Structure 1
Amino acid sequence: MRFLALLCAVSMFVSTFGFASAPSFEVAKGKLDIVTSVKSAFVQDRDIYVWLPPGYSSSKKYDVLYMHDGRMLFDANQTWNKQEWQVDEVVAGLIEQKRIRPIIVVGIPNAVENRHSEYFPQQPFETLSVAKQDALYQIEKHPGSKLFSAKVYSDSHAKFLIKEVIPYVESHYSVNKGGAHRYIAGSSMGGLSSWYTLMNYPTDFAGAICMSTHWPGIFSMDEEVFTAFKTYFAQHLAQLSTHKIYFDYGDATLDAMYPLLQKQIDEILEQQAYPRQQWKTEYFRGENHSENAWAKRLHIPLEFMFQ
């Protein structure tokens, strides 16, 4: 157990590392626009990355996938671990093979040291006792550095997406407007943020891709934290109907914590008779918690959402 806790701590530290300024990305396919220093009334200003598919034309309209941890999506030469989601290659390949309709992908960088505070579902957090919240705020991701470097503010991050990023994209690019044409995606803490945002803004998104969803919320398994997530999920699932929800997980490194937890989430979907064609959970034996792992299977949720 001590080894697993150490492994989780290392994996979590790695996943929270970011860049202070925008790198210069290169993509293998399509075109990447870097929109610099988007101003926000809700969160820290940041760049956003708008990937346009090969053949993008203003005479056509495109659905949009909004993705968390935007710095890790396109160019391994500009990431801390030399890994990437290979979004440009995977999406362009699926479009070329006519396995999905053409889409635009918007990468939204995390807040670096504030990533955990920005992605941790806020309303479940606030159902915890004050003593429990205070205890969580004391957790260190590594000596001398708090896991939560700020108060949890994921609701403000969602407002940034809904009220500032989406309006910018829909006013500057040739996209289909409205919630029926928008999707949200992320992994790990970004997976938590994706289902949470979908449930809070059901009219603003048509689906959520949640890969290696970090159900423990912190370094180790904490029953109170997971119960808060599970309860919130169960209470708000009824707000969704035609929405698509995709979950997946491996069983190596940090993903080793997920199988039993994801099973409980799946049971909620089954108990509430959420339409079976509208949700999918996939298990990938031997896969770990990394961009390389997510890149290998990214085509699966994309086909589920965009066929």
Structure 2
Amino acid sequence: MRRLLPLLILFVIIACESTPEPPATGKLELIGNWSPERLSRRDVWVWTPPNYDTAQTYPVIIMHDGQMLFDSTSTWNGQEWQVDETMNRLIADGEIRPAIIVAVANGDKYRRTDYLPTKVVDALPEAFRDTLLEVELENRSRADDYVRFMISELKPFIQGNYSVSEQPSDYFVMGSSMGGLISLYTVTQFPEHFGGAACMSTHWPGSLVFNDGVIPEAMFEYLSGHMPNPNACKLYFDHGTVGLDSLYRPYQAKMDSIALAYGYTGNQYRTIVFDGAEHSERAWAARLHAPLKFLLGKP
């Protein structure tokens, strides 16, 4: 037994030394229940990357529908985007730059009126607009108010309390469905503040009630005159082929033609079709790596 003891101790030492360190993970914190001017109250979370260091600065992605991004145990459908898991993995693999995620909860029953672009609503035929406002938008478009909240309240708070880049090219917005619409609208309204947007399963019809093409027609008319400079903005789009996503292909083709006319190229613009993907948080989680690598990929 005495002869075996040194060998046993040596084995334990080697085993301990060979046990890999657990991978570093980011940190999620709730920074409060905000009450933006002219908007409903909503929670905002900030996720900081693994080994967050105030001696360096980080790019920022503002993401919509924040309550659906991190914790499936608290979502209405038991699904989540798995933002933290995907960010941790991509950072650990060296595929993206470490970044800070700002997750803004939607306004609950005001989600559609927060996310459907105000200037598009204003351009609709009067009778159609009035019906849309009454039936779906709680009698008022709030998208301009929501965008101003991000620019005038949220972004300055993040810059004042976190170690973030001061370069507009390091700020992005991301969302899905109606969140895709408001992400694109944000960079058209304030291109000087952002370096790009990722729009997943963009709900171009703009409504769940009216599907006669009136809203997307107004949307594309607006975009034809308000696209950001392609040399200073990256735009990512995708959609699946199942359920609601099966409607999006012709609309996305129109968006692609507008971007091409503005001079967007492959380095600054991307559209991907995911065959078999549906319109759900589970589907967006499965392909979240694609927009993150497009926006944050290392040169």
State the TM-score, normalizing by the size of structure 2: 0.88
- Between 102-111 and 149-158, the greater mean CA deviation after superposition: 149-158
Q: In the alignment, which of 157, 169, 188 is matched to residue 180 of structure 1?
A: 169
In structure 2, the partner of 1:225 is: 215
In structure 1, the partner of 2:36 is: 40
d(CA) in 2 for partners of 1:200, 1:222:
26
In structure 1, the partner of 2:69 is: 73
Helix, strand or coil at the partner of 1:286: coil
Extract unaligned runs of 5+ from structure 2.
1-23
Q: In the alignment, which of 180, 187, 193 is matched to residue 198 of structure 1?
A: 187
Q: How does 1:24-173 map to 2 (within 5 A)?
A: 29-139=25-135, 147-173=136-162
Q: Is the 8 A contact 1:202 1:240 kept in 2?
A: no
d(CA) in 2 for partners of 1:159, 1:138:
23
d(CA) in 2 for partners of 1:95, 1:55:
11
d(CA) in 2 for partners of 1:149, 1:67:
23
Q: Compared with structure 1, are the counterparts of its residues 272 and 181 closer, same or farther at alpha carbon in structure 2 (3 Å cutoff)?
A: closer
In structure 2, the partner of 1:247 is: 237
In structure 2, the partner of 1:270 is: 260
Post-superposition Cα deviations, 1:158-196, rounded to whole Å, max 9, x if no partner, equal 010000011111111111124121100000000000000
Runs of 4+ aligned residues of structure 1 deviating over 6 Å after TM superposition are none
Post-superposition Cα deviations, 1:8-47, rounded to whole Å, max 9, x if no partner, equal xxxxxxxxxxxxxxxxxxxx94111101123423422322
Q: Is the 8 A contact 2:41 2:107 kept in 1?
A: no
d(CA) in 1 for partners of 2:52, 2:225:
40
Higher Cα radius of gyration: 2
Post-superposition Cα deviations, 1:259-293, rounded to whole Å, max 9, x if no partner, equal 11111111112233223310000001111000000
Extract unaligned runs of 5+ from structure 1.
1-27, 140-146
User: Considering only aligned residues, what root-mean-square deviation do their CA atoms show, in Å?
Assistant: 1.4
Post-superposition Cα deviations, 1:108-131, rounded to whole Å, max 9, x if no partner, equal 000000000000011011011221
- Between 81-90 and 230-239, the greater mean CA deviation after superposition: 230-239
Helix, strand or coil at the partner of 1:256: helix
Q: Is the 8 A contact 1:221 1:257 kept in 2?
A: no
- The structural deviation recorded for 1:75 is 0.6
Q: Is the 8 A contact 1:247 1:281 kept in 2?
A: yes
- The structural deviation recorded for 1:254 is 1.0
- The structural deviation recorded for 1:233 is 1.1
In structure 1, the partner of 2:272 is: 282
- The structural deviation recorded for 1:240 is 4.5
State the TM-score, normalizing by the size of structure 1: 0.86
Q: Is the 8 A contact 1:42 1:160 kept in 2?
A: no
Post-superposition Cα deviations, 1:59-94, rounded to whole Å, max 9, x if no partner, equal 221110000000000010110111000000001110
Identity over aligned residues, as a percent? 40
Post-superposition Cα deviations, 1:137-165, rounded to whole Å, max 9, x if no partner, equal 343xxxxxxx3224111000001000001
Q: In the alignment, which of 264, 281, 287 is matched to residue 297 of structure 1?
A: 287
d(CA) in 2 for partners of 1:137, 1:234:
24
Count of residues in correspondence between the two structures: 273
- The structural deviation recorded for 1:55 is 0.8
Q: Is the 8 A contact 2:65 2:103 kept in 1?
A: yes
d(CA) in 2 for partners of 1:65, 1:238:
18
Amino acid at match of 1:270: L
- The structural deviation recorded for 1:239 is 4.3
